């Protein structure tokens, strides 16, 4: 149970670090995370004490205290470089008179970010596999997978990996992920941040 409690602490201190960085006012989530941390700390302390008693060694409360603090630091340091994959509904707007074109990413109509690029490779890829919708302009690429890397709360890398053509159920994947210029991202950048989950870090999926 000693090592199991360490594993629980590593997991839930990572969640606590997420809340510290991104959602520190969410009391409900803090309660959900704090209870396992408290229970794991108690189990760790008592199993360490029992181990010391079996070995007829004195119990030093400094050891479990410093161990818990070290685990908390590891949880926070895990956000020095946090990669994750999000999914967005995506539209490309090409203009024959312009070299640059706009790309719009959305999870809901109210949560959108946009960027511009002049990449010929990406344009050819989208023209080949994207969906034309007669009811709205642009070329539609549903379930676009975007790989994001953050350093604490700062976005340091964003790459388009591909998308799924829902008409043909074909998963179109770029030969080389397309890196978006971070300085050309406009709109709701918050949807690029990692999402909170009590399981493993998961991708954020768009509403359809």
Residue 76 has pLDDT above 60, yes or no: yes
Do both 111 and 188 map to the same domain? yes
Do both 124 and 163 map to the same domain? yes
- pLDDT tens for 155-183 read 999 999 999 887 778 899 999 999 999 99
What total number of domains does the chain contain?
2
Amino acid 198: pLDDT: 61
| Residue in the block written with tokens 């704090």 | 34
Do both 154 and 188 map to the same domain? yes
Last residue in a domain, options 77, 95, 113: 77
Do both 134 and 160 map to the same domain? yes
Would you say residue 200 lies in a domain? no
Would you say residue 205 lies in a domain? no
| DSSP 8-state assignment for residue 94 | -
Do both 151 and 63 map to the same domain? no
Residue 208 has pLDDT above 90, yes or no: no
Neighbour count for residue 202 (Cβ, 10 Å): 13
Residue 201 has pLDDT above 50, yes or no: no
- pLDDT tens for 114-161 read 999 999 999 999 999 999 887 888 999 999 999 999 998 899 999 999
The pTM of the full predicted model, rounded to 2 decimals, is: 0.78
Would you say residue 53 lies in a domain? yes
Domain with 25, as residue range(s), is 2-77
Do both 185 and 170 map to the same domain? yes
Residue 205 has pLDDT above 70, yes or no: no
Cβ 146 vs Cβ 85: under 8 Å? yes
What is the overall mean pLDDT for the chain?
A: 89
Do both 95 and 186 map to the same domain? yes
Residue 203 has pLDDT above 60, yes or no: no
Confidence of residue 197 (pLDDT cuts 50, 70, 90): low
CA dihedral 67, 73, 77, 83 (to 10 degrees): 70
- pLDDT tens for 45-69 read 999 999 989 988 999 999 999 999 9
Last residue in a domain, options 77, 97, 131: 77
């Amino acid at each position: 149970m000693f090592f199991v409690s360490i594993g629980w602490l590593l997991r839930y201190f990572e969640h606590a670090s997420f809340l510290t960085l991104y959602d520190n006012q969410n009391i409900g989530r803090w309660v959900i995370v704090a209870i396992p941390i408290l229970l794991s700390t108690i189990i760790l302390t008592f199993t360490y004490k029992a181990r010391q008693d079996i070995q007829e060694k004195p119990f030093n409360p400094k050891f479990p205290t410093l161990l818990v603090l070290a685990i908390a630091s590891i949880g926070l340091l895990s956000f020095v470089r946090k990669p994750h994959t999000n999914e967005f509904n995506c539209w490309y707007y090409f203009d024959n008179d312009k070299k640059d074109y706009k790309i719009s990413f959305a999870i809901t109509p109210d949560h959108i970010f946009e960027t511009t690029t002049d990449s010929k490779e990406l344009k050819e890829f989208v023209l080949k596999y994207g969906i034309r919708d007669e009811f709205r302009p642009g070329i539609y690429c549903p379930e676009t997978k975007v790989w994001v890397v953050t350093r604490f709360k700062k976005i340091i890398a964003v790459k388009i990996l591909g998308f799924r053509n829902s008409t043909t159920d074909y998963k179109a994947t770029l030969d080389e992920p397309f890196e978006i210029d971070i300085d050309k991202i406009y709109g709701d950048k918050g949807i690029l941040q990692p999402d909170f989950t009590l399981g493993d870090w998961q991708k954020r999926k768009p509403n359809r």
